[in-house]
Amino acid sequence: MLTRTSTQSLTTQLAERFAERIRTRLLAPGARLPSVRECARQQGVSPHTVVAAYDQLLAQGLVEARRQRGFFVRDAAPAAAAPEARTTRESALGGAMLSSGVPADASSLIRGMFHRQSDKPQPGMGVFPPDWMDSTFMPTSLRRLTSTRALQEISLQYGEPAGDSALRRSLSQKLIGTNIPAGPEQILTTIGATHALDIVSRTLLRAGDPVMVEEPGWAIEFARLEALGMRILPVPRRADGPDLAVMAQYCETHKPKLFVSVSVLHNPTGYSLTPGSAHRVLQLANQHDFHIVEDDTYSHLAPEHATRLCALDGLQRTIYVSGFAKILAPNWRIGFLAAPPALFGRLLETKLLATLTTPALFERALAWCIDQGQLRRHAERVRLRLDGARARTVKLALAHGCRFESEPAGLFGWVDTGVDTDALTQRMLDEGYLLAPGSLFHARRPPSTLMRINFATAQDAAFWKVFGRVRG
């Protein structure tokens, strides 16, 4: 908060607050700053102080004034797209969807999601709090592999191109337990699930190819595909699965090459696919000749026997992607994909071009955690703890006038606040809290009253008290 006891003037403090958010991309290029009157009210200062602070930002080249519209964050390095690469942002069923350049607004907000605001629990974050991940078995697994001889055997060579064989055998058994028939020779380890998605995209797609992606959906996936020059076709996500009518019309009109889906505990809604919807999606894929990437990032939190496209399809048109950042250790960056044999060689070549191999030390340690049952027991403990956190968070959210857009499930809640959450996000930053506004989960970022909350970090009553006051 601004303080009158600081050696800096209120004007300088306010200007530096906005400057820091602009530089760290918490305020994206093109974002509108609060009006002078609104900012003065929010910060408890005079309009003169706000005008002086905005003048400092103008002088630093961080914002621009637009006549009768207000102050906006400047885009310091606008992309110059080639004429043939430019496409228009059109309706959900018309023409090419998004420009082929990197979307500055989306990528800016994504970087903001990883920028720690304070020591307070952060409801907008996408991972469990560190104390939930604390364990003794992970250090134990690493110590087993760090003797001089073992370390040399693992580290002083490139390792297996497809990934550590011990881990691929463990993953194969794990997948068979969920009825996904993937042998070790069909599994490729990656540097996290995002890397696996990127390998698939770079192997199967070329710039300009149409790709169906669920909406609302993962902001990084929208930005990643845009950066590769793909045409994004947003498919509304329903409680039972993707909107099949929209998918069918896309298939007739655009001939998409790929469909990216989070079937189980969808981010951000928490929805899970039903068998009937899954069968229809697979029928469309066979009829119109496209592949499906099933991102099962939240598999460790999912109910048993959840419907998965890869299980029904038997890895014919489907490619399975998952990782361990959510349940084990975000910075270990271990992910994997399981693919049809006919595609595996091409996917492996793409991995080799980008990373050669992946770190075998962590992969071998993870294999031990899986084989010893440590990961399974840890996931069970996390699920039980999450159930309690979810119940507490739901009560707090409802008590503060929010409504759940979808049935609360998994790690995330999709909450209607009744106010513009882009504006609310900026006000909550002043209080030390980072939110995940609903616009972040849409390809074209329309204004939204929704936000995604993390049940593990939103069970703090102090947050909801501040939320209620700031929302007004």
* CATH number of the domain where residue 71 is located: 1.10.10.10
Residue 467 placed within a domain: no
Same domain, 48 and 145: no
pLDDT band for position 80 (50/70/90)?
Answer: very low
How does the average pLDDT of the chain come out, rounded?
A: 89
Residue 128 placed within a domain: no
Same domain, 63 and 161: no
Q: Per-residue pLDDT tens for 323-355?
A: 999 999 888 899 999 999 999 999 999 999 989
Same domain, 23 and 143: no
Same domain, 235 and 304: yes
Return all residues near 445 (Cβ < 8 A) that are at least 6 apart. 105, 106, 439
Q: Per-residue pLDDT tens for 454-472?
A: 999 999 999 999 999 999 8
Q: From the centroid of its chain, how far is CA 16?
A: 29
Q: What does the pLDDT average to over 106-135?
A: 75
pTM for the model: 0.84
Residue 327 placed within a domain: yes
pLDDT band for position 172 (50/70/90)?
Answer: very high
Residue 181 placed within a domain: yes
Residue 421 placed within a domain: no
- Residue tagged 């602070």 (tokens): 53
Question: In which domain, by residue range, is 40 found?
Answer: 10-78
Return all residues near 178 (Cβ < 8 A) that are at least 6 apart. 299, 308, 311
Residue 274 placed within a domain: yes
pLDDT of residue 98: 36
pLDDT of residue 50: 94
Q: Per-residue pLDDT tens for 13-72?
A: 999 999 988 887 778 788 889 999 999 988 899 999 999 999 999 999 999 999 889 999
Q: Do 336 and 188 touch, CB atoms closer than 8 A? A: yes
H helices within 324-472, ranges in order? 341-355, 360-371, 374-399, 421-429, 461-471
Same domain, 48 and 178: no
Return all residues near 329 (Cβ < 8 A) that are at least 6 apart. 133, 138
Same domain, 53 and 167: no
Lowest mean pLDDT among 113-117, 165-169, 385-389, 418-422: 113-117
pLDDT: is 79 or 299 the higher one? 299
pLDDT of residue 156: 74
* Residue that terminates a domain, selected from 63, 78, 93: 78
pLDDT band for position 359 (50/70/90)?
Answer: confident
Instruction: Provide the number of structural domains found in the chain.
Output: 2
Q: Per-residue pLDDT tens for 418-445?
A: 999 999 998 998 898 989 999 999 988 8
pLDDT: is 379 or 105 the higher one? 379
pLDDT of residue 21: 86
pLDDT of residue 105: 46
Above 50 in pLDDT, residue 102? no
| Distance of alpha carbon 162 from alpha carbon 7, whole angstroms | 58
Same domain, 47 and 170: no
Same domain, 31 and 148: no
Q: Which residues pair with 231 in a beta bridge?
A: 210
Q: Do 146 and 138 touch, CB atoms closer than 8 A? A: no
Above 50 in pLDDT, residue 357? yes
Nearest 5°: phi and psi at 242?
Answer: -65, 155
Same domain, 63 and 142: no
CATH of the domain at 221: 3.40.640.10
pLDDT of residue 363: 94
Residue 382 placed within a domain: no
Of 231, 268, 226, 278, which is closest to residue 250 (Cα–Cα)?
A: 231
Same domain, 69 and 137: no
Q: What does the pLDDT average to over 389-405?
A: 98
Same domain, 149 and 60: no
pLDDT band for position 88 (50/70/90)?
Answer: very low
Same domain, 362 and 249: yes
